Structure 1
């Protein structure tokens, strides 16, 4: 088994046992997501066609990177359970960065989440931790990757928090720049509240709630210009070193400037989507 103990890279391979365990996992999890999203609750999606079109028809070899806010432990997979979305198609399904301390606590969970195309990420482990390279490999393969750039669940109805730099580093370092599609949702905090009973998470998804998903348009990044600006800005900075490797022809200070700029651009788009979502909900009400 390659990599760190318990991360089971072999179970994530498409040819593992002929792909049958992966297909069964996506059938079961997809059915669960469809029930929660469409039968137990009401899910409304704005601009779903953009997501589905990019999933099915983007140029060959070009990866898709979706990112969203993080309101509950059920965001993924239930956010993909809306009507018309091919959530049970294991080949087409997203890869997703998943918290190692939650999803990979033991061998059974590790195997299950690996079959579900999850990549273990150690929160606080930095953007150059081992499995970020695995995420880059998936982007290099032209795959679809989803991230939660806030880094953890927040159920407060407030502005998007400062984004971690991991997603920005993937955008900058990917051999082929991915199509970056922002998504903002609301309602999962009611379906799976963290503080439900005596300060504990609800044991099962709640029902008769409204889930609203706003799919944005692809974000355009002028990466050459952003790199040029990062080099210029870094010359005036005196930042402490974290021992980052030199990459993209940039030293650590320039990388920090670059990842910060990309993250700010993403944050602004997501915050605009969140504001649009609030108006969308008011118009429905």
Structure 2
């Protein structure tokens, strides 16, 4: 089995959970100050997110998905007024780029305490840390992903989603609820390039942030598996050497069909929110 980077530091029982509480409390306070005090933020349908985070049925996992506008989308996305961002027990797990957040031991330790799971971009959907994400979902946890796979600061339609999130939805022991979220303004708070042509050293102030929370999506995975199995013989792609997945023992072609169907459904939901967000005012 491949080594999981500092997984021990991410456990709730590590040193009684005190380091985790310190990191999440400090980062959460910073995000809340920047989002609610130093910038102007409006949120649509916040209660839906709050209810799912605080009081969804025990054992029911939640996956939130959003567009990716800046390197600070997480944690700033959760910094709006009324959200329990400093509560380590309610805080999300999040898939984080290994080459950015885990490129040194101190960074790995810090981000692990912040409930981040490292993902190696380009290593495929069956890399070892995806199994770790599945384990968190099997515990009924909340996981956030950026299924576009990278930061895009252009005002453009939602791009074709990577299949990692779809694979987690399909393979989770209990099918998660999926909540789409679209935001704008974080690209102005932390632009890739400022007036000097470089990323600013600190987040900027006095920007308008909008967060649009959608409605939870349910996926009938058994039915979608059946449809994928029926359609897959019509598809022809080079083999990637994927393992069969259970239940159903789906072969690689059927998995492709299934992941495409899930991803397109999520992409369409995100795009509808993006369009709605352009006209939304609080």
Q: Does 1:260 align with 2:272?
A: no
* Partner Cα distance (2:222, 2:136) in 1: 23
Q: Cα offset for 1:199?
A: 3.2
Q: For the residues of structure 1 that align with 2:197 and 2:152, how far apart are their CA atoms?
A: 15
Which of 153, 156, 160 pairs up with 1:162? 160
Matched residue, 1:51: 49
Structure 1 residue runs of 4 or more that deviate by more than 6 Å after TM superposition: none
Q: What are the within-5 Å matches in structure 2 for residues 111-122 of structure 1?
A: 111-122=109-120
CA RMSD of aligned residues (A): 1.2
Once residues 186 and 164 of structure 1 are traced to their aligned partners in structure 2, the CA distance between those partners, rounded to angstroms, is 21
Partner residue, 1:60: 58
C-alpha displacement of 1:196: 1.2
| 1:225 Cα deviation after fit | 2.0
- 2:194 is aligned to 196
Q: Secondary structure at the match of 2:242?
A: coil
1:234 aligned residue: 232
Stretch deviating more after TM superposition (221-230 or 69-78) = 221-230
Q: Aligned equivalents of 1:242 and 1:102: distance in 2?
A: 26
The count of corresponding residues between Structure 1 and Structure 2 is 280
Alignment partners' CA distance in 1, 2:59 and 2:220: 20
Structure 2 distance, partners of 1:32, 1:42, is: 15
Structure 1: runs of 5 or more not aligned: none
Distance 1:175 1:224 in 2: 12
CA distance in 1, matches of 2:136, 2:219: 20
Residue equivalent to 1:243: 241
| CA positional deviation for 1:129 | 0.4
2:220 equivalent to 1:216:
no
Is 1:172 equivalent to 2:170 in the alignment? yes
Kindly provide the CA deviation profile for residues 227-255 of structure 1, in whole angstroms up to 9, marking residues without a partner as x.
Answer: 11111111112221101000031000000
- Give the distance between the partners of 1:234 and 1:277, measured in 2 at CA: 36
- 8 A contact 2:175–2:219 mirrored in 1: no
Q: TM-score, normalised by structure 2?
A: 0.97
Partner of 1:24: 22
TM-score (norm 1): 0.96
Instruction: Verify: 1:81 aligned to 2:79, yes or no.
Output: yes
Q: Tell me the distance in 1 between the aligned counterparts of 2:89 and 2:36.
A: 23
- Give the Cα–Cα distance (whole angstroms) in 2 for the partners of residues 43 and 115 of structure 1: 27
